[in-house]
Amino acid sequence: MDFRFTVEQEKFRKEVADFLKDEISKGLWKPSCDAWIQGQDPAFTKRIAERGWIGLSWPKELGGGGRSAVDRMIMTEEMLRYGAPAACHWFADRQIGNAIIHYGNEEQKKEWLPMIMRGEAYVGLGLSEPDAASDLASIKTKATETVDGYIIDGQKVWTSCAKYMNYIYLIVRTDPLVPKHKGCSEFFFSTKLPGVTLTPTIDITGGEAWCETFLDQVKVPKTSLIGEKNKGFYQVVNQLDYERAGLERLMGNYVLYDAIIQFTKETKRNGQPLCKEPSIRGKLAQLQIELEVGRLLTYRVALVIDEKRAPNLEASMAKVYSTAYEQHLATLAMEILGLYGSLMEDSKYAAIHGLAPASFLGSKGYSLQAGTSEILRNIIAQRGLGLPA
């Protein structure tokens, strides 16, 4: 056992942290919560790409960094710690690249991976539909094969990257006559194709991180099919593990965690800083304890990935735990702020930039997106503990 990182890993962590701190001091962006999903900044994505930090853990033969999943996790930990606006490339880097690497053909790898690594692809995830979310196999958006390609028609909801999206990953129905999960396929293509319309979804926080995607007889070439036709449902399972595997589930609101601690050090009540009050000390210590548990559960996922095993069980455990933690963080921050917890970011007298109410509202989605905690508990129980399906 060893709970430390190597000298090289610590050096890398410092390199990432120093870079981010430098950018903050130059005023290039401000640390924010959920910046990995709400913070779209194409210029930032380009600068990250220039440092070779997109595709960090992809094979060297394919132009990637060839580094471990643990190394990537170290990088993402710093990105989250400093609330960096990495949303444009996050999904491509986290899961779409891996989908292409596992199931794409040589041309697709040669064309798409470098594009993602150059920071030029802002990929949205087109999975959920109005009537098919947890029940992904019930998707209705269809792709009809033609002589030179497919015609895609239907609707997706909660597509990430929203208006910044220039490429979309889609899972659609290619055979309506076979059992549902045997007739789906994965596609990847430019959102600039005729027939693609994006309509922003305004979420409970007022943010526009997602959109609805309408596909109206969109003609896509054969080369946009990833892997095997009708094998999409089996292919996407692995991708979902990556989607659930990360520290963004635990540290998306690290900026709030930092800020509320600082707030209690700087704010006085009854002649002493809030952080001297026993109940507040207990609450903040509890957050630190819960954060550390989550951190180890999540690094464990990276270790499993580096052993070349699918982290189906481990990623599910980490996400269920982590999203509950972030909801707890938001709740405790609101408790500490009292009435000030109701003031939004642009209000006079807003406390800690209104991070607490924004996190509180946004956190309602964490235990739902990328696999609800209920679905994940099913996976843990059935795949992990062997309980009967």
Partner 1 sequence: MNLKLTEEQEMLKSMAKDFLTAKYPKTVIKEIQAGEKGYSLGLWKEMAGLGWQGLVIPEKFGGNGMSFQDLSILLEEMGRFCVPGPFFATVLLGAYPVMDAGTEEQKQEYLTKIAAGKAVCTIALNEMDGQYTPGSIETKAIADKDDYIITGTKMFVPSANVADYILCVARTSDKPDGISVFVVDAASAGLTSTVLKTIDSEKLCEVSFKNVRVPKRNILGSLNGGWQLIEKTIERAAIAKCCDTAGGMQQVLEMTVQYAKDRKQFDQPIGKFQIIQHYCSNMAIDVDGLKFVTNQAAWLKSEGLPCAKEASIAKAWASEASDRVLALAHQIHGAIGVTIDHDLQYYTKRIKAAAATFGDAEFHREIVAQQMGL
Q: Which residues bind partner 1 (CB under 8 A)?
A: 1-5, 70, 261, 264-265, 275-276, 281-282, 284-286, 288-289, 292-294, 296-297, 299-300, 303, 317, 320-321, 374, 376-378, 380-382, 384-389
Determine contact, residues 178/193, Cβ cutoff 8 Å.
Answer: no
Helix (H, G, I), strand (E, B) or coil at 269: strand
Specify which residues 167 forms β-bridges with: 123, 190
* Distance between CA atoms of residues 135 and 180, nearest Å: 10
Nearest-approach distance from CB 290 to partner 1, in angstroms? 8
Cβ nearer to partner 1, comparing 167 with 257: 257
| Backbone dihedral angles phi then psi of residue 189, each to the nearest 5 degrees | -160, 170
Instruction: Name the residue nearer to partner 1 (CB basis): 261 or 344.
Output: 261
104 touches 115 (CB < 8 A)? no
Q: What CA–CA distance (Å, rounded) separates 40 from 209?
A: 8
Minimum distance from CB of 282 to partner 1 (Å)?
5
**CA dihedral defined by 44, 362, 209, 142, rounded to 10 degrees?**
130
The distance of closest approach from Cβ of residue 32 to partner 1 in the complex, given in angstroms and rounded to an integer, is 23
Find the shortest distance in angstroms from Cβ 254 to partner 1.
Answer: 14
Please list the residues that pair with 124 across neighbouring strands. 168
Q: Closest approach of Cβ 317 to partner 1, in Å? A: 5
Q: What is the dihedral of CA 165, 166, 169, 175, to 10 degrees?
A: 120
Nearer residue to partner 1 within complex by CB, 102 or 268: 268
The alpha-carbon radius of gyration of the chain (Å, integer) is 21
Sign of CA dihedral 154, 123, 314, 182: positive
Identity at 338, one-letter amino acid code: G
Q: Contact at 8 Å (CB) between 62 and 232?
A: no
Between 6 and 197, whose beta carbon lies closer to partner 1? Answer: 6
Nearer to partner 1, 47 or 276 (CB): 276
Q: Measured from the CB atom, is 113 or 379 closer to partner 1?
A: 379
Please, which residue, 9 or 144, has the CB nearer to partner 1? 9
Phi, psi of 158 (to 5 degrees): 55, 45
Tell me the closest approach of the beta carbon of residue 158 to partner 1, in angstroms.
24
CB of 2 to partner 1, least distance (A): 5
Which two tokens mark 83? Answer: 């609330």
The greatest distance separating any two alpha carbons of the chain, rounded to the nearest whole angstrom, comes to 78
Residue (199 or 382) nearer to partner 1, CB: 382
Q: Report the nearest approach of partner 1 to the CB of residue 283 (Å).
A: 9
Residue 125, strand partner residues: 169
Question: Do the Cβ atoms of 342 and 354 come closer than 8 Å?
Answer: no
69-81 vs 254-266: helix crossing angle, rounded to 10: 40
CB of 288 to partner 1, least distance (A): 6
- Which 3 state secondary structure label does DSSP give 217? strand
Closer residue to partner 1, CB minimum distance, 178 or 289 = 289
